[in-house]
Amino acid sequence: MSIVPVSLGDRSYDVAIEAGSLDGAARHLAPWLKRGRAIIITDSNVAHHQLPRLEASLDGLERHVITLPAGESTKSWAQLEALTDRLLALEVERGDHIIALGGGVIGDLVGFAAAILKRGCGFIQIPTTLLAQVDSSVGGKTAINTRAGKNLIGAFHQPSFVLIDPSVLDTLPRRELGAGYAEVVKYGLIGDFGFFEWCEANAARLLAGDAEARVHAIATSVAAKAAIVGDDERETSGRRALLNLGHTFGHALEAETGFSDRLLHGEGVAAGMALAFRYSARRGLCASQDAERVAAHLRAVALPDGLAAAGIAASGETLVAHMLHDKKMAAGTLAFILARAIGNSFVDKSVELADVAAFLNAETRSS
């Protein structure tokens, strides 16, 4: 089993990674299930494919399973209200730990419910998508979406433990695997050119389910995220904002598609990263060959490399209007994550939104 520590003082925790660990979950979770019961929140797909493994492992404990609808629309006020009502009815106490078994949707919603239930109870992440294993289960960003945009209501609330079993990815649909891969390659693009090269060479193996490639991608991603989060837990120094590469564009595309299955989060991030690199090249910050290399890799793994591939026909002005709700907005200026090269991203606070709109309009015209 490989263990990646997330070092945050009294909020520190471990991320444990091992194929098959879901079947031995009881042993790993025992320190947090002191009252002899497990409250598991999951979604309908995960309940079908992976919940039986967790339940079998917890045989002998009192178990309560709350199954929510699958999909992004579950990150909503309505589902949050229904979930917190159920948790209150189960008399969850502050010292209890509830279990999020699912992808980023379940993890973000359950984490937020845990943050506000009785002003905060504990929670454990058992991520079941590639995206959740490499990104959303680590770092304590929890949230729901609102009509105004993505993740606009939420809290920083760290889990107490993260248990990653790469074998659960065997039942994940290929499209979801690809969406999660976007957040994997993001770590290479942010600050690790060597890992980007590894991605170019091994993406096909990873997406085909190779066990060794999975563990390498997950452990490298989690270690990269843990280092950034340990340094800038609440995105105040600017370092954590790097994890938002592709997200200012991507969240606008997600908003434009109504947070629906038309464009998955990771697909929006992929298109957004290609746009961030091309915009960097347009501004003379990075070589256009780097932007083309990024786009070529995304196309090679069947991820969208821009607006047209993401199915977006909206004007630049419309997309920029979505960006005005971005949480990186400060005193009327929106920080963008741009790149000097592959593996060398940075936060740019000098971007003019009118220029971004013009760039996006040019992108649409040239596609």
Known binding residues for Zn(2+) are 183, 247, 265
CB atoms inside a 10 Å sphere around CB 191? 19
d(CA 98, CA 40): 6
CB atoms inside a 10 Å sphere around CB 229? 23
Catalytic residue among 75, 141, 157, 297: 141
Catalytic residue among 28, 97, 214, 265: 265
Q: What is the DSSP letter of 364?
A: H
The pair phi, psi for residue 38, each rounded to 5°, is -125, 130
Supply the minimum distance, in Å, between the C-beta of residue 122 and ligand NAD. 17
Supply the minimum distance, in Å, between the C-beta of residue 166 and ligand LNCXM5UN. 19
Return the residues of window 31-50 that contact ligand NAD according to CB under 6 A: 43, 45-46, 49-50
d(CA 45, CA 102): 9
Q: Which of 155, 97, 88 is nearest to 118 (CA)?
A: 88
Q: Pick one of ligand NAD, ligand LNCXM5UN, none as the site partner of residue 179 (Cβ within 5 to 8 A by kind).
A: ligand NAD
d(CA 141, CA 155): 6
- Interacting span for ligand NAD (CB under 6 A) from 81-89, 100-108, 193-201, 230-238: 100-108
Catalytic residue among 27, 91, 119, 365: 119
CA atoms 294, 299, 304, 309: torsion sign: positive
Nearest CB to ligand NAD, comparing residues 80 and 132: 132
Q: Which tokens is 327 given?
A: 């949480």
- Is 28 annotated as catalytic? no
Return the residues of window 178-197 that contact ligand LNCXM5UN according to CB under 6 A: 183
Catalytic residue among 97, 214, 251, 322: 251
Out of 111, 139, 178, 304, point to the residue binding ligand LNCXM5UN (CB under 6 A).
139
Nearest CB to ligand LNCXM5UN, comparing residues 141 and 157: 141
β-strand partners of 99? 40, 124
d(CA 154, CA 139): 13
Q: What is the DSSP letter of 73?
A: G
β-strand partners of 164? 17
- Interacting span for ligand NAD (CB under 6 A) from 4-12, 26-34, 57-65, 68-76: 68-76
- Residue 69 φ/ψ region, left for φ over 0, alpha for ψ in the -120 to 50 degree band, beta for the rest: beta
Q: Pick one of ligand NAD, ligand LNCXM5UN, none as the site partner of residue 102 (Cβ within 5 to 8 A by kind).
A: ligand NAD
For 321-346, give one letter per residue: b (16+ CB within 10 A) or e.
Answer: bbbebbbbeeeeebbbbbbeebbebb
Supply the minimum distance, in Å, between the C-beta of residue 268 and ligand LNCXM5UN. 9
- Is 183 annotated as catalytic? yes
Nearest CB to ligand LNCXM5UN, comparing residues 288 and 333: 333
CA angle 96, 101, 106 (to 5 degrees): 95
Per-residue x/- track, 160-179, ligand NAD (CB under 6 A): --------x--xx---x--x
d(CA 335, CA 350): 7
d(CA 240, CA 226): 10
Name the closest residue to ligand LNCXM5UN (Cβ). 151
Catalytic residue among 97, 214, 240, 328: 240
The answer to whether 18 and 229 have CB atoms below 8 angstroms apart is no
- Is position 271 an interface residue for ligand LNCXM5UN (rule: CB under 6 A)? no
- Is 141 annotated as catalytic? yes
The answer to whether 18 and 1 have CB atoms below 8 angstroms apart is yes
Q: Which residues are annotated as a binding site for NAD(+)?
A: 104-108, 128-129, 141, 150
Catalytic residues: 119, 141, 183, 225, 235, 240, 244, 247, 251, 265
> Which residues contact ligand NAD by CB under 6 A?
43, 45-46, 49-50, 70-72, 75, 102-106, 108, 128-129, 131-132, 135-136, 139, 141, 151, 168, 171-172, 176, 179-180, 183, 265-266
> Which residues contact ligand LNCXM5UN by CB under 6 A?
135, 139, 141, 150-151, 183, 240, 243-244, 247, 327
